[in-house]
């Protein structure tokens, strides 16, 4: 048996010793954590679970892609890891040692170890799309995914089609499931270069007006925020070179109906453009994307103010790095980069809670909700 970068290889490549080594290491960590407290004194169960997920599970699953893939014989590995997680579940819940494994795991909020590994493996299969075009792993894939990498002589592209069903491994699993990803990523997008990002180049022209409700005096906090927002609207109405937008995305309660997004663009108090779209998996950044692109196309506009109920999604829309919805973020960055080129222009994202039922944001909410009512009426008449 040999070791390479912490991976233990045996002659038959079953990796039983590898799993046993890290499972034992995890088991010892759980045993040592028992000194942190018992059921009457010490850490509460929630913090015990957090410690286990943050400190123990990464050790136990280290290098799991070597032995966990479709067609692999890993019954022994699961047995070892299940024993380790059972010990952790007993420590978290403080249950008796005779308690059933499934029940203690459910009470501790832990999914079975084989399902946890399946979740990690599915994510790893799709995460290949976020690798650069010349990444070494791409050299082992077929021609559809190799991109600019030089194909290895042992790659799938050089393998006879008759061998595809006979060969099992992580690379073959990636080949079989990579097509399930419908989203396109650009790991080396020009807009994501350090120093060339939109926030880096136009930091003074992009601002986020966040707000958190003071729970100690909630009513006063909400009232003051509404006064502040009303003053901002009055200021924008007096500026003929400014537009402000209300955006919202809505998911209907009826699963038969699709999610929708809507935006309304105002200029000096009047609605100059409104639109709503249907999308199967619409998100808040989608609504902001459409609103920003349309606002940038309006003539003689130097200031865009966008009212949203999620500042996090607004920051995500300005983030060109690899993440879910990167295509929308890149479109926003490209549109604003061209718009900022003239100078003296700015974009402001303002936080408005939906519970405020205030101004342009509430009107966008009502506008997108009206579509669901029309859809329900149309469905009932069918």
Note whether 131 and 139 are within 8 A (CB): no
Q: Exposed (0-12), middle (13-18) or buried (19+): which is 211, by Cβ within 10 Å?
A: middle
Q: For residue 309, what pLDDT is reported?
A: 82
| pLDDT-above-90 percentage for the chain | 15
Structural domains in the chain plus CATH codes? 2-125 (no CATH), 131-180 (no CATH), 190-380 (3.30.420.10)
Q: Spell out a b/e string for 295-306, using b for 16 or more CB atoms within 10 Å of the CB, else e.
A: bbeeeebebbbb
pLDDT tens, 72-82? 888 888 998 99
* Cβ atoms of 254 and 275 closer than 8 Å: no
Can you give the pLDDT at residue 376?
41
Sign of torsion over alpha carbons 181, 184, 185, 188: positive
pTM above 0.85, yes or no: no
CA dihedral sign of residues 59, 187, 261, 382 = negative
| Other beta carbons within 10 Å of 172 | 20
Please tell me which residue, 176 or 372, carries the higher pLDDT value.
176
Q: Who contacts 247 (Cβ-Cβ below 8 Å, separation ≥6)?
A: 261, 262, 263, 284, 287, 288, 291, 306, 307, 308, 361, 364
More confident residue, 380 or 347: 347
Question: What are the two backbone dihedrals, phi and then psi, of residue 339, each rounded to the nearest 5 degrees?
Answer: -70, -35
Closest CA relative to residue 84, chosen from 44, 63, 118, 55: 55
Q: What would the pLDDT profile of 223-244 be if each residue is shown by its tens digit? A: 888 899 999 999 988 888 899 8
**242-250 and 259-267: which strand pairing?**
antiparallel
Asked whether the beta carbons of 354 and 308 are under 8 A apart, the reply is no
The DSSP secondary structure of 261-323, one letter per residue, reads EEEEEEETTEEEEEEEEEETT--HHHHHHHHHHHHHHSSS--EEEEEES-HHHHHHHT--SSS
Burial (0-12, 13-18, 19+ Cβ within 10 Å), 73:
exposed
């Amino acid at each position: 048996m040999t070791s390479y970068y912490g991976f233990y290889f045996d002659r038959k490549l079953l990796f039983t010793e590898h799993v046993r080594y890290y499972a034992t290491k995890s088991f010892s960590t759980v045993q040592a954590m028992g000194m942190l407290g018992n059921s009457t004194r010490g850490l509460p169960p929630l913090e015990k679970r957090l410690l286990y997920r943050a400190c123990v599970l990464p050790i136990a699953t280290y290098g799991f892609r070597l032995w966990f893939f479709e067609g692999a014989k890993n019954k022994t590995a699961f047995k070892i890891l299940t024993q380790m997680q059972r010990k952790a579940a007993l420590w978290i819940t403080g249950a008796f040692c005779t308690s059933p494994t499934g029940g203690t795991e459910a009470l501790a909020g832990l999914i079975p170890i084989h399902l946890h590994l399946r979740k990690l493996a599915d994510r790893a299969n799709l995460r290949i799309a976020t690798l650069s075009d010349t990444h070494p792993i791409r050299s082992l894939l077929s021609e559809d995914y190799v991109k600019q990498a030089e194909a290895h002589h042992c790659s799938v592209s050089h393998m006879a089609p008759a061998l595809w069903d006979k060969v099992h491994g992580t690379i073959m699993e990636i080949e079989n499931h990579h097509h399930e990803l419908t989203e396109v990523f650009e790991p080396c997008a020009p807009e994501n270069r350090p120093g060339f990002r939109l926030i880096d180049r136009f930091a003074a022209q992009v601002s986020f007006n966040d707000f958190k409700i003071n729970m100690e005096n909630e009513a006063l906090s909400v009232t003051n925020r509404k006064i502040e927002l009303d003053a901002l609207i009055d200021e924008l109405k007096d500026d003929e070179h400014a537009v402000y937008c209300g955006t919202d995305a809505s998911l209907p309660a009826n699963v038969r109906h699709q999610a929708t997004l809507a935006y309304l663009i105002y200029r000096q108090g009047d609605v100059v453009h409104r639109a709503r779209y249907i999308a199967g998996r619409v998100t808040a950044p989608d609504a902001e994307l459409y609103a920003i692109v349309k606002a940038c196309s309006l003539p003689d506009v130097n200031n865009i103010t966008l009212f949203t109920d999620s500042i996090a999604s607004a920051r995500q829309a300005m983030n060109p790095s690899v993440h879910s919805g990167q295509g929308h973020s890149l479109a926003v960055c490209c549109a604003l980069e061209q718009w900022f080129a003239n100078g003296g222009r700015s974009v402001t994202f303002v936080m408005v809670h939906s519970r405020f039922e205030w101004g342009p944001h509430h009107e966008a909410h009502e506008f997108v909700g009206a579509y669901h009512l029309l859809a329900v009426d149309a469905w009932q008449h069918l």
